Structure 1
Amino acid sequence: MAPLGDSLDNEQNPDNDRPEQPMTRRRLRELEALNSAAASSAVEAPSKDMVLAVPAPSAQARATTTALEVKKPAPIATQRPSIRMPRFAKPSKKSAGRAVVMTFAAALVATMALPAYAFGGGGSFEAGVATDGELAGNQTLVVPDASAALAVSRDNYTAPTPEELQASRERAAAAVAATQAAAAREAAAASAATAAAAAAEKGSSAGSSAFTVNPPSGAYSGAAVVEYAEQFVGKVPYGSGASPDTSFGCDGLTQYVFGQFGIYLPRLVSNQAAMGIPISPADAQAGDLIIWPIGHVGIYDGAGGSIDSPDWGRYVEHRPLWGSYYFVRIV
């Protein structure tokens, strides 16, 4: 028997301490039926036959009666099961795009299928259905007389044969070869003309520069050296040679002149300066070498002048001394 004031659920359901579990619909209907039966039995008023006629109770009796009164049981609390409603995801742009694409594809298929269905005779694709169909109306084609009078003509063009093509290629190759040969002949003629002109120019310059070279008039002396070198003035051009037949460089002139007297001088101004001894201007004599530090050499005439081959485009000259120089005597 449950103590006074406790709920009937504590007596009837000893597992109340357990955590509540979601109730099924069947269990919910059973609990509702039990609650309805308990409420109707507890609330139902007593009938007249069950009422006893008793005198007015005293205060003590009323207290006893109150204590004996049956307390109305509290209604059983019902708990509705928690039913989770399905959640629908919010449509995204990607799903919407897929839906649009699928709709478009379906419309495209339908657009292509309907004409084929109509042309095929209502879905029948048997052979000859399309060719046996009759046109709905009569059609008339009118051709003008001018068009009917035109006759089909063909021009006189014919495709060349392989033999004709080969002959055309051979003619083109022959023309190219002839052009190349003519160009080669012209180049050879121009080269020959250039060579002849150069030879003629060389012959004329050699003829113009050719002269009789007189040998030294006597034994080696300063005056004999100056006299021998004087014959080349204005006749032999400046160049890189060391012979009157071609040209004279400054060191080539001194090498050639002193060589005619049996004295060997090497090329280059510095080498020739090393072959003698420096002397003072007061002691300088005819036939001494004049050395310019800039790299030039000449023959001193003994009177304040020099015989030298100066520069390109000029000939051997006899001119006064110039610039900074010093004297070297060959011994």
Structure 2
Amino acid sequence: MAPRSTYDPASARRGSTHEAPSVRSNAVHPHVASAQAASALAGVSRRSLRDERSAGGRARRPDTSGTASPARKPRSARAARVRGIVNVVVMTFAFGLIATLALPSYAFDPAANADPQVDYNPAEMLKATQSQSVDVDASAVASVANRDVMQATTVDELNARKAAAQAAADAAAAAEALRAAAAATKASYTGPSVSELLANPPYPSFSLDSVYGVASQYQGVPYVYGGATPAGFDCSGFVMYVYAQFGISLPHSVVSQDAIGTEISAADAQPGDLVVFDDGSHDGFYAGNGNILHAPYSGASVRVQPLWTSAVHYVRLGI
């Protein structure tokens, strides 16, 4: 049944043309439907492409044929394929590296590269040819080789140096002890000094017998290094102190006392003359009959004893 239409007289009067009555219908034009379908398909394709890219996969064209697209391979399968490729690359590199290292070793191996037809050993060549002589050019000059000599300090030398150093230290300590003892002895002595005796000699009349008699009174006085009083004497201090009592001034030195006096022969020497050792190390009073009255050394006292050496000479003072 055809739809009914209504006629509007007013509309007919306003125009000369007649407008067809409008008909409402739910039908869609074929071109519009096709455009809507294409737009929907494009939207689906863009969404599928974004989803695949976000998942790390490769975008595929949308399937417009109406058939279902094949399922993607799992990511674990792709990882396994990548690992296989990496293993093959690593094994190939390792094999190439080993081969590269082995080639120089083979190249430098004398046994592997030896030429059985050539012998480069001169000694072996001489043996093989039974050669007994070698020709040398006349202009050749033989080189002179000097052997290096190593010098080292032996254990004995080290021990000797150590002993010498210890001896020097001991000597220095002994000398210091002697000086300390002399200072203590001098401080403890209250009798007249050499200068006081020279200012007022107790024996103004000089004679060798008197000199020896005064010197003999000091037997038993201990030896003190640097001593020049009855508290303690050394050799030249003993001579100086005795002669000062006769008004004769002498230095506190063996060499100086020797230089002041007059040298006499051993036959002319009398008790009271000086006995001086030739090396200037010691002196004392001649005691007659080859004896000497002197202050000998540290630890001993003034005493008379035979001369133990002939390397002496005699000096007379005061005459």
TM-score, length basis structure 1: 0.35
TM-score, length basis structure 2: 0.36
Rg comparison, structure with higher value = 1
